[in-house]
Amino acid sequence: MIIGTAMLKDVWAFRDFMWSSVKREFQTRWIGTQFGPLWLLAPPLTTILIFTVIFTNIMRPGMPAHDSKFAYSIYLCAGVLTFNLFTEILGRSVGIFVESANLLKKIHFPKLCLPIIVVVSSVLNFAITMALYFFFLVIADAFPGWIIWAAIPVLIIQLMFTIGLGMLLATINVFYRDIQQSVQVILQFWFWLTPIVYVSTILPPLAVDLMNLNPLWPLIKAYQGIFLEHALPDWYTLIYPCILGVFFVLLGILAFHKLQGEIVDEL
Amino acid sequence: MNCKSMIHIHNISKAYKRYSRKYGRMAEWFGMGTHHEDIWVLREISFDVEQGQSLGIIGVNGAGKSTLLKIITGTTRPTTGTVQVAGRISALLELGMGFHPEFTGRQNCYVSGQLHGLRASEMDELISHIADFAEIGDYFDQPVRIYSSGMQVRLAFALATAKRPAILIVDEALAVGDSYFQHKSFERIRQFREAGTTLLFVSHDRSAIQALCDRAILLENGFVIKDGDPEEVTDYYNALLAEKKNTTVEVKTLEGGRHQTMSGTGQARVKQIGLYNSKGHAVEFVNVGESIELRIQVQVHDDLDSLVLGYGIRDRLGQIIYGTNTWHTKQVIKKPLKGDEYEFSILFPANLGLGSYSIQTALHDRDNHLTTNYEWRDLALVFNVINTDKKEFVGCLWIEPEIKVTGVLNEG
């Protein structure tokens, strides 16, 4: 792991740059507008509002064993908002080296700064979203209380998995640009192949067996449990995504380390 | 040795990989054989640049200049060999890189400065100097999108040179902006040099190389084919540009250690060249303002379509003071035959400053020597301008003034 520490030291020297870039990324979303930073709230607010209004007043899908009229909205948001974090980080980091070709070719700085900026700003954006979601839970009188802390380790496993996979794919994408295109397609399928909009109990047993291979399902299920049932996750179900996460992180580092010298030559 | 080596390049080569089949690269990742061929763009390059030295890098497009610079700045790695760079590099190649149009000049300076490895606290100190140097006034706090391109360059230059780097890389892209700012930026580069910054200057422009550099290297097909005095290297480059079939480039060492470069097809040659005063005596020393005659005899060695003689007067540093040719004076010789001889007599006043000058000659078919070059000869003749009867003056030209001094009564 000696490579790792040297790499991190290089990256750490550019912390001011990364932080300014994260700030800039948020600022670009409201600079020149009248309402300013309030616009950051618009997208998550819209999502939560639409889900709540439609699924509590217009359509009323029943949630087994729940009478609260907000039950489905809570279930849906728990899955969609966290899956969005996965989509955002993966979708943006896969093309990051190719899109920053000009910068990478002209200026010498640690390439890893670029995906880190993506991750940090996505996580901050996620924090804003979750704050609104918590607010909604409080209003709906469905806030889980202290059990909410159980979401933190789940989130860490999710981030590890996403970052590892993102780094691996971003590196390969420099050489095979098809990756970027296919990721967009695969993410769509992945969303629908995870019980987020529907509940897993409606699935035939064979589909459930296949879905057990989906490393995101245990994570999403954990969030849904925390927010809807106010129940702690089955920790042992998280072992599989955790191991896969570590595997992708190591593979991502290996691929990046092996190929980073050739990245600029291919851009 | 008090000369510290700032850039140490030892035997570097750079190859890009070319894969004949799409999945060849993937096969290599999994250890299944070799599927690429190496395209070598730099080969076995070694040189050292000392502190305070300024090195010109010349070469046609594709000679490997950019790759060499990328290796020095660290954006790409050499395939073999080692590079050691001592100190911070600032490259004026990427002026304005990473500027975001929606943000103000000030905000952009912070982010770009940090991208070059400066800390936010360092930027706090530098920001007022940047604003002062760029001289863009209130625009500094306006979004970059409303800047003119000149203002962007000013800001980017001010930012890139806010802190004196150990090594500064400049390319000719710098020749933008108005002339006021150009002078200002060259002045800053000069100050950096005096303070010990090592300069790498990439250009096609021989006079800029000669004015700024004390050494030059010439790259051709990835090799350093010449390394030495800027005048010699740029002469050689010029000769190479004209290189065609049957062309030879020849370098002769003259008395005093200067190098004469000759090139061309040899279909016509300067047979004799001389400088004469008004009495018809051959001279080597010429008085300021004296009328002199340059006589050039040309021998034709082949049947040609047309023949043009060009000449240039160059100063000690090799900069052209004046030059023209018989295409511009509409005295082209049509259809000269093998064996013909011509004499050109060129009369002009030596309105030059004191010093040593050289004459360069060129024989070609049209308005320049780049298409067909019969013969190109640098340092064909050397002469000196001395002052025997004029009032004292400095500079490279003699422009005799008439100065009137009148006392003005101050009525206040």
Q: Tell me, what's the ipTM?
A: 0.74
Q: How far is CA B119 from the centre of its chain?
A: 35
8 Å CB contact of A14 and B117: yes
Asked if A101 contacts A137 with a C-beta cutoff of 8 angstroms, the reply is no
pTM score, whole prediction: 0.73
**pLDDT value, residue B245:** 47
Cα A193 to Cα A48, A55, A237: the distances in Å are 22, 21, 18
Q: Which residue has the tokens 């000049």?
A: B105
Structure tokens at B269: 């040659």
In degrees rounded to 5, what are phi and psi of residue B252? -115, 140
8 Å CB contact of A175 and B25: yes
Q: How far is CA A231 from the centre of its chain?
A: 22
CA B359 – CA B275 distance, rounded (Å): 10
Please, what is the average pLDDT of chain B?
83
CA A109 – CA B100 distance, rounded (Å): 18
- Please check the confidence at residue B3 and state whether its pLDDT lies above 70: no
CA angle B240, B242, B248 (to 5 degrees): 65
Whether A24 has its CB under 8 Å from any CB of chain B: the answer is: yes
Q: Which residues of B touch A (CB under 8 A)?
A: 16-17, 25-26, 29, 70, 73-77, 89, 91, 93-94, 97-98, 100, 102-103, 107, 110-111, 114-120, 143
A–B CB contacts, 8 A cutoff, strictly below: 67
**pLDDT value, residue B257:** 64
Candidates B18, B35, B75, partner chain A, best to mutate (most A CBs within 10 A): B75
Whether A14 has its CB under 8 Å from any CB of chain B: the answer is: yes
- Please check the confidence at residue B175 and state whether its pLDDT lies above 60: no
**pLDDT value, residue B161:** 84
**pLDDT value, residue B344:** 92
* Stretch (H or E) spanning B187: helix B179-194
Asked if B385 contacts B275 with a C-beta cutoff of 8 angstroms, the reply is no
Shortest CA gap A8–chain B (Å): 15
Q: How far is CA B301 from the centre of its chain?
A: 34
Mean pLDDT of B70-78: 85
- Please check the confidence at residue B1 and state whether its pLDDT lies above 50: no
- Higher-pLDDT residue of A62, B292: B292
Q: How far is CA A116 from the centre of its chain?
A: 13
Q: Mean pLDDT check: name the lowest of A78-82, A241-245, B133-137, B293-297.
A: B133-137
Mean pLDDT of B291-307: 90
Q: Mean pLDDT of successive 10-residue segments in chain A (267 residues)? A: 71 86 86 82 87 79 73 88 93 90 83 91 92 89 87 93 93 90 92 88 85 90 90 89 93 88 82
Helix (H, G, I), strand (E, B) or coil at B405: coil
8 Å CB contact of A32 and B115: no
CA A224 – CA A235 distance, rounded (Å): 14
Q: Mean pLDDT check: name the lowest of B71-75, B192-196, B260-264.
A: B260-264
Contacts of B102 in chain A (CB under 8 A): 28, 31-32
Classify residue A123 as exposed, middle or buried by CB count within 10 Å of its CB (0-12, 13-18, 19+).
middle
CA B408 – CA B316 distance, rounded (Å): 43
8 Å CB contact of B76 and A103: no
CA B39 – CA A260 distance, rounded (Å): 19
Phi-psi region of B200 (alpha: psi -120 to 50; beta: other; left: phi over 0): beta
CA A220 – CA A212 distance, rounded (Å): 12
Q: Among all residues of chain B, which has the CA nearest to that of A105?
A: B75
Shortest CA gap B125–chain A (Å): 15
